[in-house]
Every structure is written in structure tokens, then in C-alpha cells.
Structure 1
Amino acid sequence: MIFGKKKFLAAVGDFEKAAGARDGEAAERAFAQLYQAAEKAGDAEFREAGPRLAALLPSVPQGPRAAVAVVTGACVERGADPSACAPAIFAGARAGFEAAADFCARWAETGGGELPEPDDELTDEIIGRTGEEPAIGWFTLPQWEMACVAMLGHRSVRRESAGTAELLALAERVTEASGHEFKCLTYALRVLDDEPLVVLHRETGTGYVLRMTGIGDNFQLHTLLAGVLIGGQHVPGDAPSAQEVAVCRDAPGQVPTQGSFNLAGPDGAWIFNEGTPSDIPVVDGARLLVLDPPPYRRGWPAGRFFPGMPGDLVLDRVLDEAEAAEWFAKVQPAKG
């Protein structure tokens, strides 16, 4: 029986001992106790527990490993060092997606048909068809996605972590094989930081050099662009309110907003709000975006795709007339 205020850390200690002794039953009991104690744990306990749990991940069996990863992610959300926790989380996620890719291949080889959802119940029939390790890989993907997104909410992790490109490729491979979209994970892996962005406003013939960081989707980018360019009186239009811009940076919540532009690439094709800034093509070392008049009025809740990820868009400078003309020479007319 655990007494005292630090039940969570005591349960972490019991889990460490059980994992070290490879005592599955004791580890299961300790993890259940750990999970229950987490409800009343304080931030200091979460800060200490995160790296300890992350260090255990390689030694935890495949099935419960993803559940431990989720708790580790919760620790990071409560203040644990994300850089200390992320490598083990990403390694486990890569292994999970590799197993899931094998699951999709074996499913197709054994008759195909509609795949079970990753959050469905794992049955003996499914294990018999694909094998245990591939099946566990498939059915733990939602947990790995949750744990990875908790890590990727931190700029330090996005900057430092190796293997994220490999993880993105694996997630895209599984999506192609299964038709199941792991949108939160793939969007988080595509987030850009300190990324140069050249923006051309076609109506006025003006151009701007900006820098974007931590922007989860193009809805968020759209509102921030309007705040910087219309709110800064660089281009005409109705500027979003201070609150609409704030919730796209770091303020909590969502507020209604209206679109100000139609986003387009240098080929004139639309860049959809539903996509990510990584969809914007790179031209001469910078992502190049053209702003056209909106073809219709469209509204959405201004905010962040990842509520815990601060975003920013900074205007570095306004292009002079000659520079803007050089960039406009690289773009095609707008496409309907």
C-alpha cells in the first residue's frame, strides 16, 4: 500500500522495479496504480516521472509500451522535459508503424477486405490472421499518435529530434496501405519553424518576406497573414480582431473569423486552408505564396490546430518594387 502525497512517484518506482525484474504481473499492477495515482499528482511529480518512464519504454513489452508512452506524453504536457522523453517515444512509434505496415500487408495477403479501425477491439481472430506483433502494432497506433503529438508540441523537440522524417514516411505509408489518416501526427510532423515565406499580394503588386513558426494548418496561417498584412495596413481589407489573431498565436480558445484571401501557389493553383504550410512550394530557397481575392465569403473558428502549440508569423521586411517584380515573374496567373 502506498501512503503519502507522492503516490504517483511511488507507483513509478514500483513499475521501474517490476520492469527491471521482468515481472509482468507486478508491472501490470504497478502501472494500474500509477495510472490511478496520476489523477491527483502534482506538476513536480509529472516533471520527475516523465524521463523515468521514457527510459523504461525499450524494456516494456510491445502491448503495454504504447500505454506507457501515453502517460509519458501526459507528463510532458504537465512540465516534464520533452527533449529527454522524445527519443524513446519516437523510436517506439516508428516500431509501431513498421509493425502496422506489416499488418496491412498481411491483411491484404489473407483475403483483404475492410481493415478494422485501430481503436476497435483486438480479437484472437485478427491475431490469427496477421500475427500478434503486426496486430498489436496496428491497434496501438492511436496511442503512439497521441504520445508523439505531445512531444511535437515543443519547438525544441521539432528542432532536435532525429527520425521524425522517417516517422512521417512510415505514417504516410500506412495511410496509403490502409486508407486511415493519422492527421494529427502527420500535421505535427510537418510543422515548420523559422521558415522563410515570401508572400505576393496580386491585387496591389506588393511583396513581403515573413517567417513562420509552429503553425499547424493553413486556417491558422490565413488568419495570421490577415493580421500582419491587413492589420498592419500593408494591403486593403477587413483585418481580423486582436482576439482572432491572439488565439492563432498563444491565447486559449477559438473565435469566429472570416477569410480575407484566396491562397495560391506560384503555379496559380489553390493552397487549401485545410492543408498545412508545408504544402506551399519552395522557390529559390523560400516558400512562395500568392494572395488573391477570395472567390466567396468563408468563415471558420480562428484558433490553432494544436491548442498546446504556440504559433507565430513575423514580417521581416517589405519587398521594394523591383524585388516584388522579380518574384512576380516566377508566378503564373490565378486558376479558377
Structure 2
Amino acid sequence: MMFDRISFHRPGRKPVRSALAAGFARLEAAVAAEDSAAFEAACRDLQQAIGRATPAELGQAGPRLAAMLAGVPPWPRAYLAVMTGACVENGADPVACSGPILAGVREALEGALRFADAWQRAGGGEELPEPEDDADPDAATELLLGGTDPDAPEAREVRRVVTAWWTLHLWEMASVAVLSHAAVRRAAAGSGVLADLLGLADRYAGVQRELKCLTYAAATLDEEPLLVLDRPSGTGYLMRMSGVVDNFQLHTLLAHVLISGRHLAGEGPERAAVEACRAADVPPERRPHTTGSFNLLAPDGSWIWNEGTPSDIPVVDGVRTLVLDPPPYRRSWPAGRFIPGIPGDLVMVRVLTAGESAAALAGTVPSQR
């Protein structure tokens, strides 16, 4: 299933500019008073105001919400992060909003991992609670407290990790909203944030499940060179990919560049399938199906699965290198982007000479399956 973007219902009536300012004022007052009931009411009001806001208003609301996150208690913070992500998806500056959101998802991941460890030590059983299946956070808190004084520092830590476990899916939504932008990914990669998030998400997958939307967004490559070697024809191509989230998308774009571009024989994908992989806004039920043209291999003969990401392709002599063989069986899939908010593309840089292609292919081995 592809990632669904955050969205708010937008009523048909004309936006009221003062509603957004009033919503922020009520929210800030509720935070200052530490009034949870008032905070919930203010959140609902602000959400409605955001749904009616103009793009210019959303541009201001996103960074303002992001700046509030650090001062909000952990549980409601996650809901404000989702609202911030919705503003980003509707025009707010993703870079200005990304810092608090990425810090929040990292904190939630760390807390969720501590929750899983505490759950096992407390005898919670082999099955961890599923926050999205109406599992009871109060029961989990009581189990982990185990008679601890509710006002003790240990009790505060218990409540914090329970909150992290129950709100991680919200932080994932918010983080994908900002990571859908190349400028955020570049900055987060340069600072080491992406590597940290991917490492934590991998550990979480080992105890619960894969955070596929987060990991795929964080692993997305931009302006990445790709050396493609076609074994049957003995030809090679240097390409550049940006925003290609998964290998289904890459496979479709490869077929377009190489077959529709008349470098290789075969039947290229339909134009609609290619555009769905690039930037066209195509609803899931209308995605055109396309058929695989290749078997994707690493130079050592291991398979590069369509279900993976381009980051799975190994780097050889400084460039990711992919080998193409004929498909061993027929396979089709609905063309498109796993994360619709990330536009993708694959472009030809140059065709390798016959000597370059032969030398590169000499360092590869046939499929190991």
C-alpha cells in the first residue's frame, strides 16, 4: 500500500483569516495553563482553521506550529506535529518545519524501543500492544509502573516511553511530510540525522514492524549516479536518479529510458505509467499497470528486489551499479510512487563505449538464483 498523504477536510465556504490567529491564541493559552481539556478543544479549532486557511496563511502556520512543538507535552506534541506536516503538504516551508519534527520522530523511536524492552522485562508477554488497534495505553502504563510511586522520576519515564510507543505512527506521518522534500533530505543526510533515523527504524523493525514510509522516505536518493549494465546486449549506461523511492518505480523508469528511448529492444511502459512514477497526481485506483522488462541484479549476481529501494543497489568504485538480465517470469504492478509527495525522475547522462561496457561487465557474475 502506498503512503497516504496527510489531509484536512476543506469546507466550501470562504476562509476566515482571523480564525487561524484565534486558534493559535487559544492553543498557546491552553499550553501555558497546562489545561488538557482546553488544549484538546483548541486543537480541534485550529485544525478546522487550518482546513479553511489560504496557502499564504498555511505558509506562516507551519513554522509557527513547528516552533511550538518543543514546549508541548509529549502526547499532544505528536498531534501538533501531524498538523505541522499537513501545513507543509499544503505549502509551508518544509526546511523551516523539519528540525522539530525530525527531532520528535527520533525521540519517539528511542522511547518506543525503551518501551519494548520495559514491556518484556515487566512480563507483558510476547505480543506487544498495537497502538492503532485500540490497545489501552493506561493498562500498559500500569503494568510498567508495577507499584512505582506515580510522582517518582521513574514513573515519568514510564509515561514518556508509553507515549512514544502510542504516538510513533503519528510522528512517522509528520516526518514523511517533511522528508518528501529534497532540501530536507539533503540537510538531514549531511547532519547525520537520516543515518540515525534509519538505524533506529531498523532496530524498531526487529521488535515490532517495519516503518516502511519513514524508512523509504529517509532512504530516498537525490542526484545519485547510477551505472546500468545490460548483460544480454553488452551495453552500459550512466544515469542519474532523484526522488526514486522504491525499485518498482525505478524498474518502470529504467524501461522507459532504455526501451522507449530505443537503446534496448522490447516494449516500453505506457506514458501514463511513466508520468505516474514522475510527478503525476494519480489516485491509487487509477494507477496504470505496467509489466517488468528486466531482472535487476547486483554485480555479485544477487537479486535487487522490486520491493526494495534504490539504496539497496551496491556502490562499486564510487557509483551504484545495477545489472540487467531478462526477466525470469512475467510480473506486473500498478505504476506510481510509493510516497506521492516525492516526485521522481531518472535521466540518461551518457551511453558507455563498447570498451567501457565490456570492462564493467567483466567484473560482474550471473544471477545466483
Of 30, 50, 62, the residue aligned with 1:50 is 62
Deviation by residue 1:200-258 (Cα, 9 ceiling, x = unmatched): 00000000000111011000000000000111111111111222111111112121111
Q: 2:126 aligns with which of 106, 113, 134?
A: 113
CA distance in 2, matches of 1:110, 1:315: 56
Map Cα deviations across residues 237-284 of structure 1 (whole Å, 9 max, x no partner).
Answer: 111122211111111212111111010111111111011001111100
Q: Is the 8 A contact 1:155 1:214 kept in 2?
A: yes
Partner of 2:98 in structure 1? Answer: 86
SS at match of 1:80: coil
SS in 1 for 2:110: helix
Q: Percent identity?
A: 53
Supply the distance in 2 between the matched residues of 1:166 and 1:186 (Cα, whole angstroms).
Answer: 11
User: Matches of 1:4 and 1:208 in 2, distance apart?
Assistant: 54
Does the aligned pair in 2 maintain the 1:90–1:164 contact within 8 Å? no
- Select the structure with the greater relative contact order (CA < 8 A; seq sep ≥ 6): 2
User: More deviation in 47-56 or 20-29?
Assistant: 20-29
Larger CA deviation: 220-229 vs 122-131: 122-131
One-letter amino acid of the structure 2 residue matched with residue 312 of structure 1: D
Question: 1:283 aligned to 307, 316, 329, which one?
Answer: 316
The 5 Å alignment of 1:225-244 reads: 225-244=254-273
Deviates more, 1:146-155 or 1:160-169: 160-169
Retained in 2: the 8 A contact 1:53–1:68? yes
Number of paired residues? Answer: 333
Find 1:310's aligned residue among 332, 335, 343: 343
Note the alpha carbon deviations across 1:52-82, whole angstroms, 9 max, x for none: 0000000000011100000000000000000
For residue 223 of structure 2, the aligned residue among 189, 194, 197 is 194
- Corresponding letter in the other structure for 2:214: L
Distance (Å, rounded) in 2 between the aligned partners of 1:132 and 1:38? 30
Aligned to 1:169: 199
Q: Specify the alignment match of 1:124 in structure 2.
A: 138
Query: What SS does the corresponding residue of 1:209 show, helix, strand or coil?
Result: strand
Partner of 1:213: 242
CA contact (8 A) 1:9 1:49 kept: no
* Displacement of 1:5: 3.7
The secondary structure found in structure 1 opposite 2:347 is: strand
- Shift in Å, 1:24: 4.1
Q: 1:18 Cα deviation (Å)?
A: 3.4
- Give unmatched runs, 5+ long, in structure 2: 1-14, 145-157
Number of the residue aligned with 2:12: none
SS at match of 2:306: coil
Output aligned runs, 1:315-334, within 5 Å.
315-334=348-367
**Is 2:163 aligned against 1:136?**
yes
Residue matched to 1:148: 175
Structure 1 vs Structure 2 CA RMSD? 1.5
Is contact 1:118-1:138 (8 Å) kept? Answer: yes
2:154: which partner in 1? none
Deviations 1:125-180 (A, max 9, x none): 211223221111011011000000000111111111231211111111111122x1
SS for the counterpart of 1:10 is helix
Of 40, 45, 51, the match for 2:52: 40
Shift of 1:22: 4.4
Secondary structure in structure 1 of the residue aligned to 2:112: helix
Q: In the TM superposition, what is the alpha-carbon distance from 1:4 to its structure 2 partner? A: 4.2
Q: Is the 8 A contact 2:276 2:337 kept in 1?
A: yes
SS at 2:111's partner residue?
helix
Q: 2:253 aligns with which of 224, 232, 236?
A: 224
